[in-house]
Amino acid sequence: MAEPTSTTAAVATYAAAGISVPMLTAFGVPLGLRADVLVAGFFGGLVAIILLNSVPSEGDTWQHLVATTLERMFVAIASSLTAGYLTPLLLLMASLPDALLLSVAFGVGGGAQRVFARVISKLGDAPVADDGSAK
């Protein structure tokens, strides 16, 4: 019969291993990105594309459809990466608890395209339209 302390320690070890989220690496270099934050940012970007129509279609020919599809794919990927890198910073700046990590990542992914358009226009002194795009 096993001792209760060894069973309890084993359960605690397995529970802690399941909770921890590994950081992503590329070519052996740690990127500092968490997979769960990237997924939340990706879905935020998809919601912005679908519900907010942040990447509108331009035509009905197959060339326009392919170009729009590629643009939407790159916007979703960029939203995911933006959420991956900016969400921890926003949590620190706003003094938010870690429990809101994925919610903030979803919001950052959804608003990444419009927020970046405004930031770039402020840095470049270009006027901005109401939808967040540069005029």
DSSP bridge partners of 34 = 23
DSSP 67-83: HHHHHHHHHHHHHHHHH
Q: For residue 128, is pLDDT > 90? A: no
Determine, yes or no, domain membership for 2. no
Average of per-residue pLDDT values in the chain: 80
Q: What is the pLDDT of residue 17?
A: 47
Q: What is the pLDDT of residue 66?
A: 92
What confidence tens digit (pLDDT) does each residue in 66-108 have? Answer: 999 999 999 999 999 999 988 988 889 889 898 999 999 999 9
Residue 15 falls inside a structural domain: no
Q: Is 44's pLDDT higher than 90?
A: yes
Q: What is the mean pLDDT of residues 43-53?
A: 90
Give the domain extent around 42.
33-135
Q: How many domains does the chain have?
A: 1
Q: Let me know if residue 122 belongs to a domain.
A: yes
For the entire predicted model, the pTM comes to 0.70
CA distances 96 to 2, 50, 60, 81, 88, Å, are: 43, 28, 45, 21, 10
